[in-house]
Amino acid sequence: MLSFAETDLVHRDHAIPGLAMVLDPDTFATALRRAAPDADLRTAQITYRRYKPQNFCRVAYRLDVAGAELDLDVRACRPEDLASWLGDRDGLQVTGPLGHGRIVLEDRAIVVNVFPNDLKLPQLHHLADPGKRERVLRKLLPDHPGLWQGELRCLRYRPERRYVAELRAEGETRALLKSYTPRAFTRSKHNAKAFHSGPTLRIARLLGCSDRRRLLAFEWLPGRLLFDLLAAPKLDLQAVTATGAALAALHAQVPEGLVSWTPEATIADLLSLSLELGFICPELACRADKLARGFTEQLAAGPARQCTIHGDFTAKQVLVNQQEVAIIDLDWAGRGDPAGDLGNAIAQAERCALSGELSATRVELFRDALLEGYARTNRPLPERITLYTALELFRRTRFPFRAREPDWPQRTEALLARAEAIWDMIA
C-alpha cells in the first residue's frame, strides 16, 4: 500500500504510467502473479529504489517464491522509452522460478529482469549455475583449488552495476568475489593492484582476475566492521584512532593512473540532487536549492586539492582485527580532496545519530578520535572537513526514499536540517 507521500508523488508524475505499481509491493506482486501464474509467489519486498522524476523509476525487489529468495530489477519508464529499455531481448534467456528471464508489462511500460538475467553483468549467468561456476572459478583461481566448488552468498547486488559475494568452501576457506560492468572493471582492476599494505594499513590481496568475465577475487580479511563497533556498548576509541591513521596512510600513497574526481562532477551531482529532492519533497525544494548552491559556490571558489582518496570512505569500509585495520572496497579510489573521505565518514555517523542508532556524544567521540588518529601520522588535517560533512549529509537526503524507510519524508527533512546546521558553522 502506498503512503500518503508516495500517492502524492504518483499524482504529480504523469509521465511514468507504471510508477504507482512499482512503488507498491502488493500491487506489483498481484501483477506479477498474473504474468507468471505457475509461480508460488508469496511476498514481494522493496530493497532499493532509484527515481528520476518524470523519466524513470528503478526498483530492486526481493521475492519469496516457494520459500526461496529471488531478486528482481524492475523498471518503470515513459512509454516512448520502453523500446530502449528492453535492450537485447536474446541476452536474457535464463529461466527460473518465474518461468521467464524477463517479463514486460507493456500497458504500464514496466520491464522486469529476473536474476541472474542482467544485460550489463552477463557473467552472472555463469556464477548462478554450479557447473558453469566451477569452470569459471578454475580459470579465475588456478592456485586455489579448494575454492573451485565453493558456494556463493550474495552480499550486495545492484542490477546492471555490481555484484559482490562471499565465496566459501569446506574448511572455512573464503574469498570475496566481485562482478563488474566494463567501465567499472577497468578502474577496479587497476585500483586492486595499485595499493599496498603497510605498518598501519591492511589492503586485501587480489587472488584472481578474469578480463573475459569481468571478475575480481580478493582474499577474505578477518575482523569486524568499524560500523558495528560504533554501536557497541563501549566505543573502542583505539580502533577509531587506528582507522584515522590507516586512512592517512592510504592518502599518503601515490599510485599512478588513478582517475580524478573533480569539483565539477560533485557540483553537477549536488544540483541534480536538489532538483530530485525538490520533486520528491516539494516542501523542501527551496531549502535544498539554497543549500546546494551554497555548496557549489564553496567548491568552485576553493582550491582543487588532488591527492589519493578512497572515494567512498565510511565505517562500513573498515575492518578491525585486534590491532590491525584494513580499508576495503577501493573501487572508487582516485585523486581528489582528502577532506571528502573524512567528511563522508563523519556524515555517516551523523545520520546514525538522527535515526537513533548513535548518540550525539558518540558521534563527537568518533569524529575526534578519527581526526586525532589521522593527525598522529604527521599528515596535516585537510582544511574543509566540516564543509564535506555537511555536503555528504545533504547527499544522504536521497537515502530514506531509496531505502523506503518508515516516515521517509520526515527522515529526509531531518537530514537536510542537520546538513543546514553544520553548513551554518562555516557559511
Digit-coded pLDDT (tens) for 346-395? 999 999 999 999 999 999 999 999 999 999 998 899 999 999 999 999 99
pLDDT score for 49: 95
What's the pLDDT tens digit per position in 248-264?
999 999 999 999 988 88
What stretch(es) of the chain map to CATH 3.30.200? 4-114, 124-219
What is the pTM assigned to this prediction? 0.94
pLDDT band at 333 (very low <50, low <70, confident <90, very high): very high
All three cell numbers of 264:
565539477
pLDDT score for 27: 97
- Superfamily of domain 224-424, CATH level 4: Aminoglycoside phosphotransferase (APH), C-terminal lobe (3.90.1200.10)
**How long, in residues, is the chain?**
427
What stretch(es) of the chain map to CATH 3.90.1200.10? 224-424
Please give the CATH topology (third level) of the domain spanning 124-219. Phosphorylase Kinase; domain 1 (3.30.200)
- Average pLDDT across the chain, whole number: 94
CATH class assigned to 4-114? alpha beta
Closest by Cα among 12, 72, 10 to 41: 72
DSSP string computed for 115-153: TT--TT-TTHHHHHSHHHHHHHHHHH-TT-GGGTTPEEE
The 10 Å Cβ neighbour count of residue 323 is 9
